[in-house]
Amino acid sequence: MAFDVSAISAWTDELGDKSDFILKPILAAKTLQVLTGVDKRMGIKGHTIKIPTFETTTPWANGSACGFTPSGTTTVGQISLTTVPVTIQESICLKTLEGYFTQKLLPANDRPETFQLLDMWTGRKMEQVALQMESALWQAKTTYTNATHLKHFNGWIATLDTAGTAIAATQQASISTTTVRGIIEEIAFTKIPSRIRSMNPVILCGQDTFLIYKQKLMADNLYHYDPSNDNVNGINTNGWSMTVFGTNVKLVALPGLNNDNAVDTGALPTAVKNRIFATYEDNFMIGMNAENDIADFKVWFSDDDDLLKFKTRFHIGVGIKYPELVVQYTNS
C-alpha cells in the first residue's frame, strides 16, 4: 500500500542490523519547548473563542481648583482565537516486505500484524509532525497550496501581516554580515516599545539569520559573546540563543523561522523568509483542544483489510494579543 520498494532489489540476506537504517536529522517543535511563556488556551475544539481585553488611560490634570472634569478612557475589546482540526493517517501492508531483505523484520508467521521497526515508524512520524508543527506555527497561511501542513490555519507571520500594525524595523536588501548587526541592534535598542522593556522581550529569528549574526560578531572580534551556555526560561538552547550585548533582550533562533523549511512542492513562500520579530512571550497565543493531542497517536492492525494503521488528530490555531507591540523585520 504505502511502501514504495521500486528502488531496492528482491530478497537477499543483506540486512545486518536494523540500527543501520539511516534517519535524517529532524528538529523538534522548538518554539513550544523554548518559549514557555506563550499563552496556551485549551478546550478550543474547532471553533472560535473571544478573549476579552481591558485597557484604561489615566491622564493627569491640574488639581489646584475644585470641580470634576473626566478625561480618562476605558476600552473593552476582544481577541479572536480559532482552531482547526487536523488529522494524519497512513496504512501499510506488511506483506509487501516479504519479498525483500525486509522480511527479516517480520514475525515468523504468515499473518504479520507488526514488524520490528514499529517503534521507529511511529517515532519517525511524530518527529515529522513536530517539524511540520514548528514551521506551521510561524509560516502557515490558508492561501498556501504547496504544503499540506501550511494551508490549514494562519500562523503568527500571516496573522501579524494581516493586522498590519506591527512596528517596522528598517528594511535592508538582505540579511548579511554587512546588515545583520545593524538590524538586530536597531530592534533591541530603539524599536522595542518602552512599555514592554520590563517584560523580558525576546527577538526571534531563524537559525540561518542567527548564524549570520554570530559570524558578524566573530568578524568584529566580539568572541566574548558566546551563546554556547546561554538559555531561555532556564532551558538550554544548545547555543541557539544569546543576550544582545548592552541590553536585557534575548536573541533566540527558532527553526520555524528558517528560510529552508520543507514544503511538498516548489519553494517556501518569500513572505515568510528572512523574518525577524520582537515582543514579549505572553503576546503569542496558541489554541488547542488538549495539549497532549499533538503528541498522541494510535496504531492498530485491522483484520478487515490486513493493514497496519496509524492515526493522529489534533486541533491547532494561533493568535497575537497586541500586534502593535510586536517589532517585525522583512527584507525590502
Work out the percent of the chain whose per-residue pLDDT is above 70. 93
252-269 average pLDDT score: 96
pLDDT value of residue 25: 58
Q: Please enumerate in sequence order all residues whose Cβ is within 8 A of that of 29, keeping only pairs 6 or more positions apart, or say none.
A: 130, 131, 133, 134, 137, 256, 294
What number of residues does the chain have? 332
Average pLDDT over residues 75-104: 91
- Best CA proximity match to 34, nearest among 321, 303, 231, 327: 231
**For the residues 22-39, what does the mean pLDDT come to?**
76
DSSP β-bridge partners for residue 91:
309
Closest listed residue to residue 205, CA positions, set 253, 157, 160: 253
Mapping DSSP onto H, E and C, the string for the chain reads: CCCCCCCCCCCCCCCCCHHHCCCCCCCCCHHHHHCCCCEEECCCCCCEEEEEEEEECCCCCCCCCCCCCCCCCEEEEEEEEECEEEEEEEEECHHHHHHCHHHHHCCCCCCCCCCCCHHHHHHHHHHHHHHHHHHHHHHCCCCCCCCHHHCCCCCHHHHHHHHCCCEECCCCCCCCCCCHHHHHHHHHHHHCCHHHHHHCCEEEECHHHHHHHHHHHHHCCCCCCCHHHCEECCEECCCCEEECCCCCCEEEECHHHCCCCCCCCCCCCHHHCCCEEEECHHHEEEECCCHHHHHCCEEEEECCCCEEEEEEEEEEEEEECCHHHCEEECCC
Distance between CA atoms of 215 and 311, rounded to whole angstroms?
A: 43
* pLDDT over threshold 60, residue 26: no
Q: Write down the pLDDT at residue 155.
A: 97
pLDDT band per the 50, 70, 90 thresholds, residue 327:
very high
Convert the pLDDT of each residue in 185-207 to its tens digit: 999 999 999 999 999 999 999 99
Relative to beta strand 39-41, strand 202-205 is unpaired
Q: Which three cell numbers stand for residue 65?
A: 481648583
Cα angle, residue 176 at apex, residues 31 and 220 outer, rounded to 5°: 100
Taking the CA atoms of residue 218, residue 272, residue 269 and residue 22 in that order, the dihedral angle to the nearest 10 degrees is 60
Mean pLDDT taken over the chain: 90
pTM score of the predicted model: 0.88
Distance CA 212, CA 180 (A): 7
Residue 332, strand partner residues: none
Q: Terminal CA-to-CA distance of the chain, rounded, Å?
A: 47
User: Residue ranges of the domains in the chain?
Assistant: 23-48+82-329
pLDDT of residue 18: 56
- Tens of pLDDT, residue by residue over 283-315, are 999 998 876 776 678 999 999 999 999 999 999
CA 63 vs. chain centroid, Å, equals 52
